[in-house]
DNA sequence: TCCTGGCACTCCACTCGTGCGAGTGCCAGA
DNA sequence: TCTGGCACTCGCACGAGTGGAGTGCCAGGA
């Protein structure tokens, strides 16, 4: 077990390294933090911390830098979440309140997160799976062609063309629209399949094929759109990454373009609070030198999607976690209001 | 006026520099291209080309590299557009045909362009301004709350909440919906304002306020969404940019995040064919060392939006122009089919 | 037992100097 | 108008030398 002082030394190393981006030595440590002991003692502690794998030296005669394991300990035990200041909170709220629709909310959230954390921001669109149907609309575009529009409680709209197997008159369209809405409006997406399966039986035999087609299109939409969309911003912040630039940034940009990867990454974070995945804890290789700070957000108590930031493992964890948490909270409020 | 041979020398310099990314000297030129003259002659030609501002030397005793003006001449006079090969065409078509909706078409187009050109791809969503209304839907969510949904012929859907000044019954909703559609369905967005201005008069006095609110929301949507959206991809290709990396890539990433800048950039290209803006021809400072190759695309004969790529001025212009043109053509086809 | 000051050692980062080579400009001759 | 030759320039790679920050270890003291 590590003594209290050694933990303090680790904390100091992380803080200094995050600030200066340079390996930190024993002398500098004792000067900047009043640990009450001499550099020699700190050196001994450092040797112990290195032995345990919390810190490492890039070169034999250089200072120490934290390892992924060191950051992990720092995040778990040594650092709190730094709350936003009241002016910051107000700024967040003001900025988000100007949004006109869901796209705009997401876009603003991305910008905001990127600016606050000075890192790459990732915001997932509110998930369909956990949200409810507000309205289903059915439009007749041509005798055998319908358009299905699905509106969710988060304000999201999805539309699909439906080619009918047989012409379908105006009155059955209205009938189907009314029946659909009375059954599924206000219900969760996951419940929809069970609620509509017997609908074709209510129609004339010649219309049943069309009704079935419409229903399967509806169900398809739920499933397909479950492959969530993302919005990303602040990639220019990657240029503050480090010195050995091109090699580091390349795989990160590539990973960011693979939305599947990001979605998986966000999805893996099951924690109800802010989740931090550090360096090699991220399954994707390109993100091995980055940390991902994410959290769920949603209109009610329940999280309907995730948002977060991607940055170098050497990041200001307390500040980033605070910003991510605060933004998630206010986005939730905005969604609940609209 | 430059002699024919000097133009050939310029062409050779551009081609070699694009290939090697290194300043090209007189000796290497005569070896790689059989110009039929000696290095000394080429040197004289180079001096003349430099005098005219088409090429420059980075350092006193280095080879020459083309200037923006040199690239301009190359693009205008010396290079054709390199057509895609039949297999490439087939691949493009196959890839785009798998798209399920408009978002998907745009997303696939971005990926495709980025892969083909190995540069950053930018695709503008089909513009509302030039497209027509397919359908307007009005839904009653609460006694004094409506949802307005607008569907365009390009498959795009926009929705807006409308808070009514007074309760609005089901039958006036249906009435307004029907009247709206009979007037604006199939019409161009730009024509809509004139077509609906007298609509409130057809309603009972107590409903007129609501009708006006709905109409102004509709018109707002047209205007607001005229601020087009973009999709960007292939930013990882920026890492192939050059050696003096961080300084070059930073402003480009920043410019790419400013959608306004990009939209302006695309908007400025009035040419009916492929437009190339080279280096300092781009108004935005961050893009001074990049070239933008863009072209309009659309479902019919008319262009409804633009797409293009952003890359280093040192790019393969014929190939890039060919790819951009081909992709635009096939996207147009896909849009026309759906 | 733990902390401290001192000391020798390591090794990176930087500077300076040098030589090399690619490339140029110019000139005289064909 | 083109060509070959020649002197010149200048960036770049290489190597040696140096300074400094940092370490590990050890003996002495609380």
CB count within 10 Å of CB A16 equals 22
Q: Which residue gives the smallest C-alpha to C1' distance to D1?
A: B41
Across chain B, the runs of DSSP E, i.e. the strands, are: 55-56, 65-66, 120-124, 133-142, 145-152, 157-163, 230-233, 275-278, 290-297, 305-312
Assess whether pLDDT exceeds 60 at residue B246.
no
- Our CA dihedral for B99, B102, B103, B106, rounded to 10 degrees, sits at 80
Place B142 in a pLDDT band, splitting at 50, 70 and 90: confident
Q: Is the CB of A52 under 7 A from strand D?
A: no
Average pLDDT score, chain B: 88
User: Which tens digit of pLDDT belongs to each residue from A135-181?
Assistant: 888 888 778 888 888 887 777 778 788 888 888 888 888 899 889 98
| Confidence (pLDDT) at B138 | 86
| Confidence (pLDDT) at A250 | 86
* Lowest-confidence region among A207-216, A275-284, B268-277: B268-277
Q: How far apart are CA B18 and CA B316, in angstroms?
A: 6
Contact A215, A200 (CB under 8 A): yes
Assess whether pLDDT exceeds 60 at residue A221.
yes
| B302 secondary structure, DSSP code | S
- What proportion of chain B, given as a percentage, has pLDDT over 90? 47
Q: How far is CA A149 from the centre of its chain?
A: 27
Find the CB nearest B157 among A135, A157, A254.
A157
Place B245 in a pLDDT band, splitting at 50, 70 and 90: low
User: Which tens digit of pLDDT belongs to each residue from B78-120?
Assistant: 888 999 999 999 999 999 998 877 888 999 999 999 999 999 9
Residue B208, CB half-sphere, CA atoms under 13 Å: how many? Answer: 10
The backbone torsions φ and ψ at residue A262, rounded to the nearest 5 degrees and listed phi first, read -65, -40
> Nearest residue of A to residue B160 by CA position?
A101
Assess whether pLDDT exceeds 70 at residue A245.
no
Query: Nucleotides of chain D within 7 Å of a protein C-beta?
Result: 2-5, 8-12, 20-26
User: Which tens digit of pLDDT belongs to each residue from B161-185?
Assistant: 888 888 888 888 889 988 998 898 8
The backbone torsions φ and ψ at residue B299, rounded to the nearest 5 degrees and listed phi first, read -75, -40
| Confidence (pLDDT) at A226 | 60
The verdict on B236 touching A (C-beta cutoff 8 Å) is yes
Assess whether pLDDT exceeds 60 at residue A18.
yes
The verdict on A21 touching B (C-beta cutoff 8 Å) is no
Q: How far apart are CA A23 and CA B9, in angstroms?
A: 52
The backbone torsions φ and ψ at residue A161, rounded to the nearest 5 degrees and listed phi first, read -85, 145
| Confidence (pLDDT) at A312 | 94
Assess whether pLDDT exceeds 70 at residue A301.
no
- CA B287 to each of CA A198, A282, B69, B115, B249: distance values in angstroms, whole numbers, following the listed order: 59, 34, 16, 21, 10
Place A224 in a pLDDT band, splitting at 50, 70 and 90: low
CB count within 10 Å of CB B188 equals 15
Chain A window 26-45: residues with CB closer than 7 Å to nucleic chain C are 36-38, 40-41, 44
In angstroms, the CA of B105 and the C1' of C27 are apart by 64
Contacts of A134 in chain B (CB under 8 A): 141, 147
The verdict on A253 touching B (C-beta cutoff 8 Å) is yes
Find the CB nearest A239 among B155, B161, B249.
B249
User: Which tens digit of pLDDT belongs to each residue from B18-44?
Assistant: 999 899 999 989 988 888 889 999 999
Burial B124-158 (b: 16+ CB within 10 A, else e): bbbbbebbbbbbbbbbbeeeeebbbbbbbbbbbbb
Place B337 in a pLDDT band, splitting at 50, 70 and 90: confident
């Amino acid at each position: 077990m590590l003594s209290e002082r050694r933990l303090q030394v680790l904390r100091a190393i992380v803080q200094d390294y995050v600030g200066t981006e340079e390996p930190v030595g024993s002398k500098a440590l004792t000067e900047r933090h009043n640990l009450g002991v001499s550099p020699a003692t700190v050196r001994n502690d450092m040797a112990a911390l290195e032995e345990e794998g919390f810190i490492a030296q890039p070169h034999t005669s250089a200072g120490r830098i934290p390892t992924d394991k060191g950051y992990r300990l720092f995040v778990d035990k040594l650092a709190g979440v730094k709350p936003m200041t009241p002016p910051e909170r107000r700024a967040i709220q003001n900025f988000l309140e100007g949004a006109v629709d869901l796209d705009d909310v997401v876009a603003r959230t991305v910008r905001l997160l990127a600016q606050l954390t000075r890192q790459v921001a990732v915001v997932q669109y509110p998930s369909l799976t956990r949200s409810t149907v507000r309205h289903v609309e059915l439009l007749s575009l041509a005798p055998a062609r319908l358009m299905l529009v699905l509106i969710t409680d988060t304000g999201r709209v999805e539309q699909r063309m439906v080619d009918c197997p047989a012409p379908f008159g105006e009155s059955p369209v209205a009938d189907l629209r009314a029946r659909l809405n009375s059954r599924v409006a206000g219900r969760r997406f996951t419940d929809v399949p069970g609620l509509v399966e017997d609908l074709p039986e209510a129609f004339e035999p010649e219309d049943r094929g069309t009704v079935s087609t419409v229903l399967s299109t509806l169900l398809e939409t739920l499933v397909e759109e479950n492959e969530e969309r993302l919005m990303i911003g602040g990639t220019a912040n990657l240029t503050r990454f480090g010195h050995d630039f091109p090699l580091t940034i390349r795989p990160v940009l590539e990973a960011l373009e693979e939305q599947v990867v990001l979605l998986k990454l966000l999805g893996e974070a099951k924690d109800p609070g802010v989740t931090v995945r550090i360096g090699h804890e991220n399954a994707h290789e390109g993100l091995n030198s980055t940390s991902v700070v994410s959290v769920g957000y949603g209109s009610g108590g329940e999280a309907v999607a995730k948002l977060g930031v991607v940055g170098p493992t050497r990041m200001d964890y307390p500040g980033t976690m605070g910003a991510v948490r605060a933004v998630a909270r206010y986005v939730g409020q905005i969604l609940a209001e609209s």
